[in-house]
Amino acid sequence: MKLYGMGISRSFRALWAAHEAGIELDYSIVKFGSSAANGNQSDLYKQLNYQGKVPTLVDGELVLTESAAIINYFANQAPKKNLIPSGTVDRAKYDQICYFIVTELEQPLWSKGKHKFALPEQYRVPELIDKTLAFEFAKAQATLLGLLSTSGFAVGDHFSMADVLLTQTLNWAQRFEFALDESLIEYKERMMQREAYSAAMLRTGT
């Protein structure tokens, strides 16, 4: 397997997940904004990922470009590690929180990134950052607190790939200066103490 990524972007979710699953892979760091051979704007990379985003996973003929799909794929490669629930109820709750993270909790974060640096300047709306996005994140965070398991993990009574997804997103929120509930900061810091997290960080070059 080969994983393309950079820094602590969404691709870090996939890299961390691979370490949790015990999967050996070739990790290739992509240079953002570059058309060079290792750049996200190169013709070669865009043949794999048309948008030029990260992550991209290549496993034989399979190419995956969505981080949540990649972490689930890794979880299914290591069933004995129980990184993705198999029971009907637990799996439904796992799906619910994962979908919530990528559609609701993450949305104001990526919107802020787009309107700060990703979009061409003529399409950025600074007022959106100042008011709307803080409100949207606060509302999503309140909902998240009601969805979380009381066990200290995102769902169920043990670590799963939902914790990878949530921890990276909360870390992203803190870097973008959104206000986090103290309980979520404690949760995030605890998840970041995992051995697989540290091993993945060493490979990012950051």
pLDDT by residue (tens digit) across 77-112? 999 999 999 888 999 999 999 999 999 999 999 999
Tell me, what's the pLDDT at 10? 94
Tell me, what's the pLDDT at 205? 77
- Span 53-60, mean pLDDT? 96
Mean residue pLDDT across the chain: 94
Confidence grade of residue 41 (pLDDT, cut at 50, 70, 90): confident
Residue pair 138/179 in contact (Cβ under 8 Å)? The answer is yes
- Span 56-70, mean pLDDT? 97
Tell me, what's the pLDDT at 175? 95
Residue type, 121: E
At how many degrees (to 10) do helices 67-77 and 11-21 cross?
Answer: 10
| Every domain of the chain and the residues it spans | 2-80+198-204, 83-194
In percent, the amount of the chain with pLDDT more than 90 equals 84
Q: Which two tokens stand for residue 63?
A: 């190419």
User: Which residues, in sequence order, are CB contacts of 171 under 8 Å at separation 6+?
Assistant: 8, 188, 192
- Span 39-57, mean pLDDT? 92
- Span 182-206, mean pLDDT? 95
- Span 132-140, mean pLDDT? 96
Please tell me whether residue 67 adopts helix, strand or coil conformation. helix
CATH code assigned to 2-80+198-204: 3.40.30.10
Does domain 83-194 fall under CATH 1.20.1050.10? My reply is yes
- Span 143-166, mean pLDDT? 96
Tell me, what's the pLDDT at 34? 81
- Span 21-40, mean pLDDT? 90
Tell me, what's the pLDDT at 131? 81
Cα(95)–Cα(91) distance, integer angstroms: 6
Residue pair 105/96 in contact (Cβ under 8 Å)? The answer is no
- My answer on whether omega of the bond before 85 falls inside 30° of 0, hence cis, is no
Query: Residue 203: which of 11, 73, 37 has the closest Cα?
Result: 11
pLDDT by residue (tens digit) across 121-131? 999 998 888 78
